[in-house]
Structure 1
């Protein structure tokens, strides 16, 4: 087979994630070349993601490069993928998932509960903001964009007391030692798909799809399928910040898929948390059923009054 051209964003995290996939493909005997693709989300680090069009701005340029044949596959943080399908491409593999939790990096080694009232905490995620506000700790939450280094520098240089990021990104970059607390999902549920990677190929490229198929982790696929189907169902009638976490667990008689989710008011004034279990083979249906339960219980009432849809998560 000819060299596989792997499209990647140019950020340190994106390159690290793409290199991780490339190394595993090389171990399978493939030649792999990394091809940098610039996205609008990378070029503009100041404008809030919601105004740029959501985290899809990190995905669209890579998908165009795929569709035009400039690259053969692309690696995304799965939580960045829009839930609407793009018929030109397919997620050919979801590798084993990293840590799904959010992580706090705070000055002086402080935990969330140790931060004083009025402490400034940066996050670019409406989901994180809403759930942190709901904890009623008196924190001053502020919007934050930029790559991991830029965000951490706000703490190290004293501009913020703390930042909240995805634990997976810090671990992949070898910076987990800077985490002062991993946030318990019982308090702050992660974004749908957080910690997982998506390897996309052109829908009609059977050769590349077969090449990346060995990277697939069935449990990770089932979990993110449930989380993303919930998100897709909620987006039809609810644009409040959403967190979700699915886990494959041992049931009484067989393996089960446990799914928890939260829909929160943007200001954290109220939220709904619900859970269901089901068959991992019916992950998408489980997500849809839990979304419908949330909507029946009033999740739509938590929608923001603005006509602009909020971003459910995301930038690394």
Structure 2
């Protein structure tokens, strides 16, 4: 007899799409019957910017409560939305292989970041992206936006936009938007991309492109632990441990102007990080490397996990010593 696995998801198209992909994988390796449980979060309900909402936890708290209340057995999150602190009674059961973590520009008429005319209006809801946009192109107007992928893409004009008008009456008031490539890939919308942004210009958020499968610490679903272990990807899991440890030491949430990306090559984990003033006028960027012990095929090796976390904390300490704290608060 197959066990029923209740999988919690937010209600957005992107959330349901990526949760469906995870659910199919869990069903394949664990032979579960899947039941999707839709949960509405504060991030779905509130309309303010990420910065004014406080950022931390707004997209995950209700899902976590649903798991703890046994309304679902696991929850699927965009890993970048997870607060870095521990959640009592919950554990990060698996981190599948991440999508390409880079950010992309979706602009009118095939324009790139380099070819956007001065004064172009570019939308993003991320303080990190906004700060890096201002650093790369101080002549652009960065516009704070909210909404799902279709809503954001729908605001991009076609043809030259009259700079004297913010909105031409169609709602297409932007020359471009910056989005995560991973979300567009999962939705089959990569055709909208006009420029894939180099991490040297636009470093991604901690955990960007990765998904998190969270479950109760006291696992009570037969076969779930083995299924999660089969889905867990060692390079992704160890990289995001380092990225999240850096954020935690900086005391920076997902709304902070901080970018970081870890890459595991063999046994060597390289972690890159940047802290930017919100106005884009200055930044700190550092890189660190560490050899990770262990040979587990997934991210469960405790010695490797600790080494990855230490790498993130150490790099954060170097950033703080160089003035990152003042830069983030400015």
Same fold (TM over 0.5): yes
Q: Secondary structure at the match of 1:303?
A: helix
Shift of 1:297: 1.1
Does residue 242 (structure 1) correspond to residue 244 (structure 2)? The answer is no
Structure 2 portions without partners, runs of 5+? 158-170, 293-303
Shift of 1:137: 4.2
Deviations, residues 59-92 of structure 1 (Å, cap 9, x unaligned): 0000000000000000000000001110121110
**Structure 2 contact 90–216 (Cα < 8 Å) conserved:** yes
Q: Secondary structure at the match of 1:185?
A: coil
Aligned equivalent of 1:210, options 226, 229, 234: 226
Structure 1 portions without partners, runs of 5+? 306-316
Does residue 195 (structure 1) correspond to residue 220 (structure 2)? The answer is no
Aligned equivalent of 2:291, options 273, 279, 289: 279
Shift of 1:240: 4.9
Aligned equivalent of 1:269, options 271, 275, 281: 281
Map residues 125-164 of structure 1 onto 2, 5 A cutoff: 125-156=126-157, 158-164=172-178
Tell me, in whole angstroms, the C-alpha distance in 2 between the residues paired with 1:86 and 1:130: 30
Which residue does 1:312 correspond to in 2? none
**Structure 2 contact 94–232 (Cα < 8 Å) conserved:** yes
Tell me, in whole angstroms, the C-alpha distance in 1 between the residues paired with 2:28 and 2:226: 15
Tell me, in whole angstroms, the C-alpha distance in 1 between the residues paired with 2:273 and 2:210: 17
Map residues 34-49 of structure 1 onto 2, 5 A cutoff: 34-44=36-46, 46-49=47-50
Deviations, residues 114-164 of structure 1 (Å, cap 9, x unaligned): 100000000000000111111134100010101111110001563100000
Does residue 19 (structure 1) correspond to residue 20 (structure 2)? The answer is yes
Shift of 1:236: 7.1
Shift of 1:97: 0.6
Deviating 4+ runs (over 6 angstroms): none
Which residue does 1:174 correspond to in 2? 188
Map residues 59-98 of structure 1 onto 2, 5 A cutoff: 59-98=60-99
Shift of 1:279: 2.1
Shift of 1:234: 0.5
Which residue does 1:6 correspond to in 2? 7
Aligned equivalent of 1:224, options 240, 251, 274: 240
Determine which structure has more spread, i.e. the larger CA radius of gyration. Answer: 2
Tell me, in whole angstroms, the C-alpha distance in 2 between the residues paired with 1:96 and 1:130: 28
Give me the TM-score of the superposition, normalised by structure 2.
0.87
Which residue does 2:168 correspond to in 1? none
- What value does the CA root-mean-square deviation take over the aligned residues? 1.6
Tell me, in whole angstroms, the C-alpha distance in 1 between the residues paired with 2:51 and 2:141: 21
Which residue does 2:270 correspond to in 1? 258
Which residue does 2:108 correspond to in 1? 107
Shift of 1:249: 2.0
Which residue does 1:54 correspond to in 2? 55
Which residue does 1:314 correspond to in 2? none
Aligned residues: 299
Deviations, residues 234-293 of structure 1 (Å, cap 9, x unaligned): 0179x951000100125xxxx200000001111111100000000232100000010001
Q: Secondary structure at the match of 1:113?
A: coil
Tell me, in whole angstroms, the C-alpha distance in 2 between the residues paired with 1:236 and 1:210: 33
Give me the TM-score of the superposition, normalised by structure 1.
0.91
Tell me, in whole angstroms, the C-alpha distance in 2 between the residues paired with 1:130 and 1:265: 6
Aligned equivalent of 1:289, options 280, 298, 314: 314
**Structure 1 contact 240–264 (Cα < 8 Å) conserved:** no
Tell me, in whole angstroms, the C-alpha distance in 2 between the residues paired with 1:25 and 1:71: 14
